[in-house]
């Protein structure tokens, strides 16, 4: 199985393909971490709003909602 990486005819494709796969996994994990952080902030804000009425403003709510749009795009 690992001989594929050392054969001259496939060496470039195997190393480049492995680099693409690993870098895309790294990028996907970074995005997942950002989304997870956003969920924590968002649900903390929702909990704060439900525990004490008028404790957050609509601007804060829309601001955090706009933040996830920037992460997703």
**Model pTM above 0.75:** no
- What pLDDT is attached to residue 4? 64
The tens digit of pLDDT for each residue in 15-68 reads 899 999 999 999 999 999 999 999 999 999 999 999 998 898 999 889 888 888
CA distances from 73 to 16, 31, 43, 46 (A): 26, 10, 21, 23
Confidence of residue 72 (pLDDT cuts 50, 70, 90): confident
With a CB cutoff of 8 Å and minimum separation 6, the contacts of 5 are 11, 14, 15, 18
Q: Please give the pLDDT value at position 53.
A: 86
Q: What are the sequence ranges of the domains in the chain?
A: 2-72
């Amino acid at each position: 199985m690992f001989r594929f990486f050392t054969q001259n005819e496939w060496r470039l494709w195997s190393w480049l393909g492995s680099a693409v796969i690993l870098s895309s996994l790294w990028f996907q994990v970074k995005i997942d971490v950002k989304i997870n952080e956003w969920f924590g902030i968002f649900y903390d804000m929702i909990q704060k709003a439900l525990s004490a009425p008028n404790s957050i403003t609509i601007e804060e709510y829309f601001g955090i909602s706009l933040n996830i749009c920037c992460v997703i795009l």
